[in-house]
Structure 1
Amino acid sequence: MSRAKTTQTPAPRATIRDVASAAKTGKTSVSRYLNGEQHLLSDALKERIERAIALLDYQPSQMARSLKSGETRLIGLIIADITNPYSVEVMRGVEAACRQQGLTLLVCNTNNEFNQEKHYLQLLSSYRVDGIVVNAVGMREDAISSLQQSQLPMVLIDRKVANFSCDVIGLNNAEATTEVTQHLLDQGFEAILFLSEPVTINTRLVRLHTFLKQMQKEPQKFAEQGEVELNDSAGLEKLLLNFTERYPDKRRAVISVNGALTLVIARTMRKIGIVWGKDMGLLGFDDLEWAELAGVGITTLKQPTYDMGYAALGQLVKRIQGSDEPIQEHAFSGELIVRGSTQPI
């Protein structure tokens, strides 16, 4: 004989009226307790309300509170590529600052797709977040339009967007690129290849232009540039081999525009038998954990990404609170971490 299964109906959620009844007071007093106005209540009343909340396991409705106050205490973070260690560190910084401010972070990963960025901007607006930190995908006009239409307090991180007036937190790219280029020149490298993913964002553009400008000061040295997709291993192999063949008697080095590309370059070099620090120099933006363990180690330009994320949230909170100060651009300095890959060859 089978026994029928019974399902237990969950207990109804406690309301503010239930708390008031259990504490033998009115809803106004409970509201004051919940909204930080406890100084208006007697110690005995505060203690009764506190016991009633614990007894009933009362959880205030965040939605109802946000409708009343006009604030959701939600912050949106739009990341271009969450698989990138740079993005992870930025997110850690933003999240830590949110926790300190009593804010909740909603993270959206665009996977470097314009349509996803536009979708998440609209979605976060519909959730009525108080503000957004954006690591923008690029500089297309429709992306700019979406940013402008959101009408939310916003801070851009790492990447500026042309014709869009907004606070920006990022690396001092001109200073950093000047430092890494000069380091290679000082180490005696004569031919330097600047490798980048497609130059569709201003960060890569500034780094490229600064590199070329710095190399123009050394007319006897050779500067080249190349663009490659991260998944185009054949194209990268061709770029590296052609560069080697063009300068067989020169001391050669490669600058990688970011950490994700540095990993791909290191793998490709190993595949085609180029040893960094011996056959060719290698230097990459972003200091990844594995860089010191790869062969003789890879020289990197370390960005204070955690600090940048933390600062971005701080600036956003100012805007949420109504600051009308002029648009801010906070550029952090990087740190050159020298390892064996850029030793004189």
Structure 2
Amino acid sequence: MPKIKLIDVAELAGVSKSTVSQYLNGRFDYMSEKTKERIKLAVSELDYVPNPIARSLKMDKTKTIGVIVRDITGYYTSRTIRGIDDYCKTSDYNVLIYNTDVDPEIEARSLEALYQLRVDGIIIASSGKNTALIAKYIERGLPIVHFQLEHDGNEKNIIVSDYRKAAFEATEYLIKLGHQRICFMTQNFKNVKSRMDRYLGYTDALNHYQIPIEQQLIQYWQRKSGFQQPPTNILQTVNPPTAFFTQHLAITTELLTVLNEENISIPDDVSLLGFDDIPMADFFKVPITVITQNPYEIGKEATKLLLNNISNKDAPSQKIMIPCSLSKRLSCKEI
């Protein structure tokens, strides 16, 4: 079946191409009702679908934004995307989503693809490895808003949780339960400001309550290799921690797996507090106490900021901090 073109609609309706174009773009100021009806019938009869890319070449906006995420299956990410999509629906915008699996090369290709598709702007959970490339697109006039992680602190427009305050409040909660030896389990945070902020919140609380900071209680986890030191070994030291404070949902779930395999009871043998909620946590035998972010709100605020930058190219840069909350459950006990 041959592809229907704009000229085919114009010929069937007995009008010019420009008149059909005006109709499709909602410009009816000087168009009679009869003309509109003829074009409407022609579009319906031919089953004509406008080419959005071709139309974007003639318009300032495509009414489409791109979203680049690290792991589309993650609970935090999926809730953020829902916030983005819901806000776009109320603003007549469409969303294109790209998943990178935390691969900087895929992220770079995603940025290029969205730029070629002439999206009006991009929301990105960046790997931190394409800073210069992102800056190049911003210089070309493409609005970009970051979320989830702040890397070097130079991101121009960004929406993140208030990680430092949340980590302080979580550590303080454990301290008030009597815990003095709290094992901070994290990914490498030296080059990622958002992770550093969590560490600083943890140390702020220790300093506030005059508890020494012990480097052996700072333990690292990597996405591919797991824990640098097995949690069971940590619990077998002379003076073991009484609580684990995990900084990522994947760390929490892997730690739970290890403790369960070794029949280590929570909270009888060790308390556990995690960063990021666990789906269906209330159905666990021992529901886990967590810091709860608000990814849906982050998605809405990121979209609101991006659309504002799209409509106002001179809008000042913003860093917006979204509060977290502490969901107290049964995994932390008083000692």
- TM-score, length of structure 2 as denominator length: 0.91
Amino acid of the structure 2 residue aligned with 1:328: Q
d(CA) in 2 for partners of 1:118 and 1:63?
21
2:14 to 24, 36, 40: 24
d(CA) in 2 for partners of 1:32 and 1:234?
61
- 2:258 matched to 1:271? no
User: What's the secondary structure of 1:184's corresponding residue?
Assistant: helix
Q: Trace 1:255-266 onto structure 2 (pairs within 5 A).
A: 255-266=245-256
Q: CA deviation at 1:222?
A: 6.3
Tell me: CA distance 1:246–1:103, structure 2 relative to 1, closer, same or farther (3 Å).
Answer: farther
d(CA) in 2 for partners of 1:196 and 1:22?
65
d(CA) in 2 for partners of 1:240 and 1:84?
27
- 2:216 matched to 1:229? no
Question: What do you get for the CA RMSD once the two structures are aligned?
Answer: 2.1
- Name the residue aligned to 1:247: 239
1:149 to 136, 143, 154: 136
Q: CA deviation at 1:163?
A: 6.0
d(CA) in 2 for partners of 1:191 and 1:163?
31
- Name the residue aligned to 1:3: none
Amino acid of the structure 2 residue aligned with 1:229: Q
Tell me: CA distance 1:254–1:19, structure 2 relative to 1, closer, same or farther (3 Å).
Answer: same
8 Å CA contact 2:273, 2:290 repeated in 1: yes
- Name the residue aligned to 2:50: 60
Q: CA deviation at 1:23?
A: 2.5
1:74 to 64, 82, 87: 64
8 Å CA contact 1:230, 1:264 repeated in 2: no
Q: CA deviation at 1:279?
A: 1.0
d(CA) in 2 for partners of 1:115 and 1:63?
25
- 2:293 matched to 1:300? no
- Name the residue aligned to 1:215: 206
Amino acid of the structure 1 residue aligned with 2:16: G
- Name the residue aligned to 1:206: 197
Q: CA deviation at 1:235?
A: 3.8
d(CA) in 2 for partners of 1:327 and 1:13?
44
Q: CA deviation at 1:289?
A: 1.4
8 Å CA contact 2:146, 2:159 repeated in 1: yes
Amino acid of the structure 1 residue aligned with 2:239: Y
d(CA) in 2 for partners of 1:91 and 1:21?
42
- Name the residue aligned to 2:273: 283
8 Å CA contact 1:193, 1:253 repeated in 2: yes
Amino acid of the structure 2 residue aligned with 1:212: T
Amino acid of the structure 2 residue aligned with 1:206: D
8 Å CA contact 1:181, 1:211 repeated in 2: yes
8 Å CA contact 1:253, 1:281 repeated in 2: yes
User: What's the secondary structure of 1:75's corresponding residue?
Assistant: strand
Query: Which moves more between the two structures, 67-76 or 174-183?
Result: 67-76
How many residue pairs were aligned? 329
Q: CA deviation at 1:43?
A: 2.4
8 Å CA contact 1:20, 1:49 repeated in 2: yes
Q: CA deviation at 1:212?
A: 1.1
8 Å CA contact 1:192, 1:222 repeated in 2: no
8 Å CA contact 1:233, 1:268 repeated in 2: no
Tell me: CA distance 1:75–1:299, structure 2 relative to 1, closer, same or farther (3 Å).
Answer: same
8 Å CA contact 1:137, 1:201 repeated in 2: no
Tell me: CA distance 1:262–1:40, structure 2 relative to 1, closer, same or farther (3 Å).
Answer: farther
Deviations 1:122-151 (A, max 9, x none): 33223322211110113x4xx211111123
8 Å CA contact 2:153, 2:193 repeated in 1: no
- 2:154 matched to 1:167? no
Amino acid of the structure 2 residue aligned with 1:241: N
Tell me: CA distance 1:233–1:17, structure 2 relative to 1, closer, same or farther (3 Å).
Answer: closer
- Name the residue aligned to 1:330: 320
d(CA) in 2 for partners of 1:85 and 1:338?
19
Amino acid of the structure 2 residue aligned with 1:73: K
